[in-house]
Amino acid sequence: MPPGSLDPIPEISDGLPDISGWDDQVQSVIRCRDPVFLNRTPMRLDRLQSAFAVALHMHQPLIIQDGDQHTAPIIGNLQYMMERQHVHGMHDAPVFARCYTRIADFIRELVDAGRQPRIMLDYSGELLFSLRQMGRGDILDNLKSVTSNDRYWLHVEWLGTMWGHAVVPSTPPADVPLHIRAWQQHFAAIFGWDALGHVRGFSPPEMHLPNHPDVSYEYIKSLRDAGYQWMLVQEHTVEEPDGSGLRERYLPRRLVTRNSRGEEISITALIKTQGSDTKLIGQMQPFYEAKGQQQRQLRGKTVPALVTQISDGENGGVMMNEFPDNYRQVWNQTGAEGVVGLNGTEYLELLAAAGITEHDFEPIQPLHQHALWKLVAGDITPERVTKAIEEARRADHRFNMDGGSWTNNLSWVRGYENVLDPINKLSAEFHAKLDNKRPDTRSRAYRNALFHLLTAQTSCYRYWGQGRWTEYAQEICRRGFDALAHDFQ
């Protein structure tokens, strides 16, 4: 069914985001795999030396307003900061809001000047919801101007993500597809079905990639089921099939994962190089790195290398102050030949037009897979995989199945049992009560339970350590249990 023939989704109903109940419509949109950018891009592979792709990640968690923590409303952290600009650390709230909208201004300015800017955008569902909730629809409208307008949308690629900014290893597996679908439906509600049809790449929160065989398999399967064709991957969260570090970071790779029953699944990966550092984007380092790259040979064809980077779009003085001028300057030095800017799907579609597809990309795998699988003797079974994991841990203290993210010195699991225990229990209760009862997934009751389930799983409740943030997660879980008990007897 063409996206234009579908009815629009309400963005917010009864104070809650419309994040469920539209699965059939989403499936009809993502089923179309025709190229998005290929017929519009002025780029041609034989004219390109190298390319760079930059992405901005934007997120604000949902928190509980001050007051009685059992009854106070759940609001966005940006709104909380806006209302307390006199408090140290919150004076930058208006600047944060400006960061969420200004990229649309930059794109229109540059395109109108005849330039070829590119940007990939990753906004969490929680941020999108909270902007509307706090009355900042002007930010969303400005973003729409470069998402839906035929003059500008070629230059902007939206990346899907988890609605509640959840990291997969500490998210109950059954909830991962709920986050993925919730973001798709919420995005379609704001920007429309046509815009959702252009979303082909996925940006993992915290650049986190699970490496437990079953978790990583189900994760990639959920992405493929949701229509995603590729994902961003942090270079040190993956390895070559022989267990060594990556030998090629500037061409697409095929991320392969195998579960404890021996089943394999894969997805194209674009490699984000280096660690998390806003200076890399703030000073447009990918452009300068791309200038030092040459064309590569891939399956007998000459193709441009791609330098890929993502960073927070609003944090730190370099992003707030240095990024705008540096971003503009780069596009005044680039065009459609030589060293150019590309978005991820645009690059992959150019390769596909030259006959190079996912099956031609060299395989990689999640970290520590080589160390694990060499210990599995005979047929692959869950029992043998469990035994191999235990043996690998005893043999090497560095071996773990916690996955990896932009920073490997932070665990999203260890030390947070006081949060993960109620999250896991809420998830189990949610699925036990609702999975086999065919509830009305557009009803307020269902959306209320789902909203609390997904919100409780945001990474921020663990990133900032014990205290106020973990208490938010515990209270949101309590409200989720109450919603299930009250509305689903």
Task: Give the 3-state secondary structure of the chain.
Answer: CCHHHCCCCCCEECCEECCCCCHHHHHHHHCCCCCCCCCCCCCCHHHEEEEEEEEEEECCCEEECCCCCCCCCEEEHHHHHHCCCCCCCCCCHHHHHHHHHHHHHHHHHHHHCCCCCCEEEEECHHHHHHHHHCCCHHHHHHHHHHHCCCCCHHHEEECECCCCCCCHHHCCHHHHHHHHHHHHHHHHHHHCHHHHHCCCEECCHHHCECCCHHHHHHHHHHHHHCCCCEEEEEHHHEECCCCCCCCCCCCCEEEEEECCCCCEEEEEEEEECCCCCHHHHHCCHHHHHHHCCCCEEECCEEECEEEEEEEECCCCHHHHHHHHHHHHHHHCCCCCCEEEECCHHHHHHHHHHCCCCHHHCCEEEECCHHHHHCCCCCCCCHHHHHHHHHHHHHHCCCCCCCCECCCCCCCCCCCCHHHHHHHHHHHHHHHHHHCCCCCCCCCHHHHHHHHHHHHHCCCHHHHCCCCHHHHHHHHHHHHHHHHHHHHCC
> Residue 313 and residue 203: Cα distance in Å, rounded?
14
Residue-wise pLDDT tens digits, 426-455: 999 999 999 988 899 999 999 999 999 999
Chain-wide mean pLDDT for the chain? Answer: 92
Q: 366-386 burial, b for 16+ CB within 10 Å, e for fewer?
A: bbbbebbbeebeeebeeeebe
The percent of residues in the chain predicted with pLDDT above 90, rounded, is: 83
pLDDT at 79: 97
The residue among 304 and 417 whose pLDDT is bigger is 304
Task: Provide the CA 155 distance to its chain's centre, in angstroms.
Answer: 19
pLDDT at 384: 94
Q: Please check the confidence at residue 32 and state whether its pLDDT lies above 60.
A: yes
pLDDT at 409: 44
pLDDT at 413: 45
Tokens of 337: 């030949």
Q: Please check the confidence at residue 415 and state whether its pLDDT lies above 70.
A: no
pLDDT at 321: 92
> Residue 322 and residue 313: Cα distance in Å, rounded?
12
pLDDT at 4: 67
pLDDT at 464: 58
Q: Worst-scoring range by mean pLDDT, 272-281, 422-431, 452-461?
A: 272-281
Residue-wise pLDDT tens digits, 231-243: 999 999 999 999 9
pLDDT at 274: 78
Bridge partners (DSSP) of residue 269 are 231, 253
Residue-wise pLDDT tens digits, 109-163: 999 999 999 999 999 999 999 999 999 999 999 999 999 999 999 999 999 999 9
pTM above 0.85, yes or no: yes
Q: How confident is the model at residue 469 (pLDDT cuts 50, 70, 90)?
A: confident
pLDDT at 82: 96
> Residue 49 and residue 116: Cα distance in Å, rounded?
16
- Mean pLDDT across the stretch 237-260? 96
Residues 6+ apart with CB under 8 A from 137: 131
Tokens of 441: 């997934």
Q: Please check the confidence at residue 419 and state whether its pLDDT lies above 90.
A: no
Angular region, 454: left φ>0, alpha ψ -120 to 50, beta rest? alpha
Q: Please check the confidence at residue 227 and state whether its pLDDT lies above 80.
A: yes
pLDDT at 414: 47
